[in-house]
Structure 1
Amino acid sequence: MMRHRSLLVPASLILLGVAGACDRTPDYVLKKKQMVDLLTDIHKAEGVVDLNRTRYGSDSMRKVMKQSVLLRHGVTQEQFDTSMVWYGHNIEKYIEVYDDVIARLESEVAEVDADQGGARVDMAVVGDSADAWPESRMHRYFYGQPDAMVRFNLRRDENWETGDIYTWRFYKSNMQSPLYYAIAAQYTDGTSDYMTGTTTGQGWSEIVMQIDTARTAQNVYGFATVSPAPGEAAYIDSIALVRTRFSPDHYDRASVRTYTPGRE
């Protein structure tokens, strides 16, 4: 019996060694579970910011919000930045982390929907400033993806007003290829307004669509697409489509083009 016990000790040590060998994350980098927990909370905090843009409108307030999340997790800005760089250079690990973050966030959203009887989306589009984004908050683009496109289509409801402003906002991560976007509004008279463009690099992108005050919009729709290079795996996250009311001080349609059927 004593002989069997002596064999158990080295066997358990071997198992521990194998488990440790499977994790090749350097000591100076946050482990996968730490990254998933931290990024999940960061994206939730950013969602609060997007829904309270009057209170958190400045970059300094956004930084304070992010720093509070890092502090709660016991992580410094330097540790977070270093870890993001490492995961950005180890795409497979990066994808694993964000797949878990997306699954976690979508699970929490589903729980909220269930608790509120599916009322979350209806509540989100009520009020003078609201996030009307109807789809997932994150999207992954990777080489060989059959459908590398984010789409949305909002139809008019009782909360719409003429002259509404739609601000489409998202954060780009690990993106090497250009992202092409279009956002459009279709009016009851058959005409349409649209904006197209390209954005590159990392960080925030913001597209502002001003609805015409003289026409009645019946739907607002758009898409964002990327053609990733071989080996590229990029994300956009914290996606929001914030609707605000008409303001004569901020009425700007310089980038908006109009299409009228039957005209060249």
Structure 2
Amino acid sequence: MKQFLFFLLAFSLFFLSCQQKRMPEVPAYLIDKDKMVKIMIDMHIIETAANLKIYPPDSAQQLYQNDFASIYLTHDVTKEKFDSSMFYYATQTDQMNVIYDQILEGLSEMESEVNSDQ
């Protein structure tokens, strides 16, 4: 009986591991890449600003929530739409690499503008 259970478990694991992995479906409300770039640039700026200041953990968490809520409102998206779009793009590495390349480019341009004004 133990051998049968072991065989059944081993066969089940083998069968499950051989199945083709399903890619997540594109959400009906997927945020386009350009908008994701703009949203994530704003998020990176807020995270950097928060890291430069010393806040108690509770205050920092509250600031993130308020600032991120403001970002969602500014870009006319919900947290749920952003999270599901982010999850989808995270499974599409080529697209996520393009998004992050554009984020880095946008942040570099902002940094250059700030440095040229000084």
Quick check: 1:111 aligned with 2:101? no
Q: Offset at 1:80?
A: 0.5
Q: How does 1:230-249 map onto structure 2 within 5 Å? A: none
* 3-state DSSP of counterpart to 1:58: helix
Cα distance change of structure 1 residues 48 and 84 upon mapping to structure 2, 3 Å threshold: same
- Corresponding pairs, count: 92
Q: What CA distance in whole angstroms lies between the structure 1 residues aligned with 2:53 and 2:70?
A: 17
Q: Which residue of 2 aligns with 1:33?
A: 34
Q: Which residue of 1 aligns with 2:43?
A: 42
Q: What CA distance in whole angstroms lies between the structure 2 residues aligned with 1:53 and 1:61?
A: 12
Q: What CA distance in whole angstroms lies between the structure 1 residues aligned with 2:28 and 2:101?
A: 23
Q: Which residue of 1 aligns with 2:67?
A: 65
Q: Offset at 1:67?
A: 1.2
TM (norm. structure 2) is: 0.70
Q: What CA distance in whole angstroms lies between the structure 1 residues aligned with 2:61 and 2:103?
A: 24
Q: What is the percentage of aligned positions where both structures have the same residue? A: 29
Q: What CA distance in whole angstroms lies between the structure 2 residues aligned with 1:52 and 1:106?
A: 22
Cα distance change of structure 1 residues 103 and 66 upon mapping to structure 2, 3 Å threshold: same
Q: Offset at 1:55?
A: 7.9
Q: Offset at 1:114?
A: 1.2
Query: Hey, which of these two has a bigger chunk of strand by percent?
Result: 1
Q: Offset at 1:51?
A: 2.2
Q: What CA distance in whole angstroms lies between the structure 2 residues aligned with 1:76 and 1:26?
A: 14
**Which structure's relative contact order is higher, taking Cα pairs within 8 Å and 6+ residues apart?**
2
Q: How does 1:1-264 map onto structure 2 within 5 Å? A: 27-54=28-55, 57-116=59-118
Q: What CA distance in whole angstroms lies between the structure 1 residues aligned with 2:87 and 2:60?
A: 26
Kindly report the root-mean-square deviation, in angstroms, between the aligned alpha carbons of the 2 structures: 1.9
TM (norm. structure 1) is: 0.33
Q: What CA distance in whole angstroms lies between the structure 1 residues aligned with 2:77 and 2:56?
A: 25
Cα distance change of structure 1 residues 55 and 68 upon mapping to structure 2, 3 Å threshold: farther
* 3-state DSSP of counterpart to 1:85: helix
Q: Offset at 1:76?
A: 0.4
* 3-state DSSP of counterpart to 1:75: coil
Q: Offset at 1:53?
A: 2.8
Q: What CA distance in whole angstroms lies between the structure 2 residues aligned with 1:114 and 1:55?
A: 34
* 3-state DSSP of counterpart to 1:74: coil
Q: What CA distance in whole angstroms lies between the structure 2 residues aligned with 1:109 and 1:77?
A: 27
